[in-house]
Chains A and B, each alone.
Chain A
Amino acid sequence: MKFWGIKSFMVCLFAAAGIMGAFLPATGVHAGEITVYTSYEEDEAAAFLAAARRDLPDIKVNLLRLSTGDLHARMLAESANPRHDVIWGWAVTNMVDPRILNMLEPYRPQGIEKVPARFRDTENRWFATTGYMAAFCVNNEVLKRRNLPMPTSWEDLLKPEFKGEVVMPNPASSGTGYLQIASILQMKGEDKGWRYLEDLDKNIAQYIKSGSRPCNAASAGEFAVGASFALRAIKNIDEGFPITMVIPSEGAGNELEATGLMKSSRNKKDAKRFIDWALSANAVNEYYRWKEIVTVSGGTMPKNFVAAGLPEDIGSVMVDMDFNWSATNRDRILNTWQQRLER
């Protein structure tokens, strides 16, 4: 009787251990199963994946979608024991981080010649099929209420009447934010570029720590102008928000989304089939339905993109970005930005 407590305690302990054991993951890789990490927006990724499942019914694709910065941090944290087979649709600027490049295995998928050479790695570690570009979301209701003119360029945002009405992403945490200031620095040159950013800073209400939220904040009417990316603006217009998409007349900064095979993949056969699929006609079709930038020819832009104000010849409004420059100078630029402008 004296030690009843201990006995029952031990019984409970083992019962608990047994129950927990049931929740442990099955170890070992199943044939026909791959894990893919992506930064495609939720709805895009879901549509692409549905198409992939139709074309590759025997492969089970486990997809994890995180924003660009989150995924970067996660892959570095997991680098000792990577969990994924494929990186799919992830910012080139992050992909060319040497720590990431070292994890990738060179692979030439079927149909790689369809991707222009400037959109792929010289050593075949990655190729980019899609991309996104900077755009402003301008709230028509707020413009009217506060009697503001419709801005058409980055330069317009310097006007004193926009003081406290502009939000943009914090480039230290947001990929979209970084491509915006990288494009300004590349277009204007560093001296003029930094002077512009310092002037703009006087009108900025907030630097928001996400690339899509400035557009959402403007859509919700919290601010007049949110510097964000084009697809977000198109989606919010489709949703019914009273906003206008403005592509800055100086040119829109942009980012490409790349795909690569992991050296550590435990199912390279299926991983390669998935990457081949990412260049197939069906995949490209889907890209054209969802993305403002597609590097592979073979489709046309959806009507709602054009209706929202995207020109059919997208190249005419895009800044010719030097991604190598963006990648190699990332730490230095962010340091400077933080010293001079971060609040």
Chain B
Amino acid sequence: MALSRQEDEPSPRLLFRRMLTMISPAVFVRKMKGADGEALLRGLMPLLVALPLVLFVLYPMVHILGRSFQTPEGAGFGNYISVMGTSRFLGLVYNSFAVTLMTTGITLILAYVYAYAIQRTRIPFKNAFRLFALIPVFAPSLVQAQGLVLLLGRNGLINRTFGTDFSIYGYWGIVIASVLYVFPYAFLIFSASLAMADNRLYESSRILGAGSVRTFLKVTLPSTRFAVMASGFVVFTLVMTDFGNPMVIGGDYSVLATEVYNQVIGQANFEMGAVIGMVLLLPVALAVALEKWLTGGRNMEISDRAQPLRIQPHLPRDLAFGSLVLPMASVIIAVVGVVIFASFTHLWPYRMEFSLRHYNFDVQNGIAPLWNSIYIGLMAAGIGVIAAGLGAWVTERCRTFMDGPLYFLCIAPAAIPGMVLGLGYVLAFNHPSSPLAMLYGSLLLLAVCNVYHYHAQGFLIASTSMKQIAGTYDEASAALGGSFIRTLRKITLPLMWPTLVGVAVFFFMRSMVTLSAVIFLITPSTQVAAVSVLMLEDRGAVNQAAAFSVCIMAVVVGVLLVARLLLNAFGYRHISLIR
């Protein structure tokens, strides 16, 4: 970026180039040659991963942390004392855990069953079912909750049709909406993990006379243990820090994340918001520690002699799983489908005749924010693949003294509620003295914010897959004299390639639909699509909000199709794009 800015001033540019030459690892390495160079490179790689994380995650968080200790009487624990001293706060903590644990439990079971059906059975229409599982990722989470209200609200489709009178608002509303919201993330991780299996283990198990249940308990479950931990951790943190769903469907059931929203938006109380944000970090940090401890002695199942799994025909098994997957997919489709349907009605739920009038958006800037979101999504996909892929590779393969702290840095963003991160960005980057002040107000900062908001999930997708590629490959390559970079290029990248494409798609999709962090970073010239949905929703233009969401979903699905066709054209037909 500096290069393009200094084009018309030759001397600083030359100076800058010379500086680059001096710091370029390639030049260093060429000078030092051989094993020394490689050792140095090994040392530099962790820095390359750590530096952006420090800048775009820790630095804004330090600003927020500082704010949490800032009181009218100077620095101190005043804010913490006044937040934690209330019985209401204990209630919020209880509510947050009640929702999060229930959601995590339900999601893990459902997503495991669903992923197992896709990867380990012979049910028909697998590609369609896989796509259905991912539908919630295509839409802003607000729309998930809206769909549930349209279906199950007091005046929703079900109550109107059957004359019943139940209410979805409250604990179970949040849990159902949250399960729908996080289901795809757990599914993606399970699916990636279950896709990798060594047929020899299953052969041995069969020959030794183990039944299917025993095989599952002794072979399948242990080999996906890490995926269970990883998705449990992802789901826990996503639900713990989500405010969109509880806000729309929670009624008066408040959780910690909505309290942050209340404090910051309603009362412009950054200090209190920062305190609760810090409190949210605690359970999440514990979850991280627990996950790390539990997966400490994991073993690799995919070795260099592995054979791809052959799934035997087994009709009762396929029927059983089919009858489990079908209703799950139906619920997912129904919730999004009712929103799409509502976007084409004249006035839901009173006049159901077909109308396109809601696609004539009278929101500020009209459809332009959709284009901004597309630019941001593409940038985030590019930056995200480099950041998450490099992070996973360095923490899994480089074995430096920095592994522990680096791993924590890579997954720490999951603990940060989007809103807190967004506020941190404003506080950190919109300051004339900040070296990165010029980023503020650009689409690039929005893209960077999205990357680091979802860094942990992208990182975990990459690292789950990396863990399952046995280290023996690396050792073999090293023994044969292959350099560290050559191993990366010839072995790790070809094996990782499908996962990385999945990671890119993941970042693009999240950028299209995310709301909580970017709402503080948008400027008049950098509106994004999801914020337009919120504005329409807030104004009461529910049908228009639905219509705008349909446009977002159309873009995401369109980009998926384009990526699919491109991959096919280059002969990567066998690679499943969404992982």
Residues in A lying within 8 Å of B, measured CB to CB: 2-7, 10, 14, 16-18, 20-25, 27, 35, 41-43, 45-46, 62-65, 67, 69-70, 72-74, 76-78, 80-81, 83, 97, 141-142, 170-174, 205-207, 209-210, 212-213, 215-216, 219-223, 232, 235-236, 239-242, 331, 334, 338-339, 342-343
A sample of 12 more A-B contacts (CB under 8 A), given A17-B1, A21-B4, A240-B351, is A5-B486, A6-B26, A6-B41, A64-B522, A67-B538, A73-B265, A173-B266, A209-B258, A209-B262, A221-B154, A221-B155, A334-B266
Residues of B within 8 A of A215 (CB): 540
Residues of A within 8 A of B488 (CB): 5
A78 touches B426 (CB 8 A): yes
Residues of B within 8 A of A35 (CB): 523-524
CB contact between B525 and one of A2, A62, A78, A209 (< 8 Å): that residue: A62
A73 touches B154 (CB 8 A): no
A-B contact pairs, 28 of them (CB 8 A): A10-B25, A16-B382, A16-B383, A18-B3, A20-B444, A24-B1, A24-B444, A42-B362, A45-B364, A63-B364, A64-B522, A73-B265, A73-B423, A77-B270, A78-B426, A80-B430, A141-B350, A209-B261, A209-B262, A212-B539, A212-B540, A213-B538, A220-B542, A222-B155, A232-B540, A334-B266, A334-B267, A339-B88
**Interface-forming stretch among B191-199, B324-332, B435-443, B500-508?**
B435-443
Q: Shortest Cβ distance from B80 into chain A, in angstroms?
A: 17
What 0/1 readout, one digit per residue, does chain B (83-100) give for beta carbons within 8 Å of chain A?
000101000000000000
Q: Which 10 A-B pairs have the closest CB atoms?
A: A173-B266, A221-B155, A62-B524, A216-B540, A21-B1, A5-B485, A343-B252, A21-B4, A77-B426, A172-B266
B535 touches A14 (CB 8 A): no
What 0/1 readout, one digit per residue, does chain B (147-180) give for beta carbons within 8 Å of chain A?
0010001110000000000000100000000000
Of chain A, the residue at the smallest CB distance from B258 is A209
Q: Quick one: given A170-B266, A173-B265, are A2 and B364 in contact (CB under 8 Å)?
A: no
CA distance A207 to B251 in the complex (A): 7
B535 touches A42 (CB 8 A): yes
CA distance A216 to B440 in the complex (A): 35
Q: Shortest Cβ distance from B448 into chain A, in angstroms?
A: 9
Most A Cβ at <10 Å: residue of B262, B346, B375, B525:
B262
Q: Shortest Cβ distance from B436 into chain A, in angstroms?
A: 11
Q: Shortest Cβ distance from A38 into chain B, in angstroms?
A: 10
B264 touches A5 (CB 8 A): no
Q: Shortest Cβ distance from A43 into chain B, in angstroms?
A: 6
A23 touches B375 (CB 8 A): yes
CB contact between B489 and one of A5, A73, A97 (< 8 Å): that residue: A5
Of chain A, the residue at the smallest CB distance from B254 is A343
Q: Quick one: given A42-B364, A62-B525, are A173 and B262 in contact (CB under 8 Å)?
A: yes
Residues in B lying within 8 Å of A, measured CB to CB: 1-5, 24-26, 29-30, 41, 86, 88, 149, 153-155, 169, 247, 251-254, 258, 261-262, 264-268, 270, 346-351, 362-364, 375, 379, 382-383, 386, 423, 426-427, 430-432, 437-444, 483, 485-486, 488-489, 519-520, 522-525, 535-536, 538-540, 542
CB contact between A21 and one of B3, B265, B489, B536 (< 8 Å): that residue: B3
Q: Quick one: given A6-B29, A173-B265, are A41 and B375 in contact (CB under 8 Å)?
A: no
A24 touches B438 (CB 8 A): yes
CB contact between A239 and one of B4, B347, B423 (< 8 Å): that residue: B347
CA distance A219 to B464 in the complex (A): 48
Q: Shortest Cβ distance from B257 into chain A, in angstroms?
A: 12
Q: Shortest Cβ distance from B271 into chain A, in angstroms?
A: 11
A18 touches B4 (CB 8 A): yes
A172 touches B364 (CB 8 A): no
Q: Quick one: given A21-B5, A77-B270, are A42 and B29 in contact (CB under 8 Å)?
A: no
CB contact between A209 and one of B247, B379, B382, B426 (< 8 Å): that residue: B247
Residues of A within 8 A of B540 (CB): 212-213, 215-216, 219, 232, 235-236
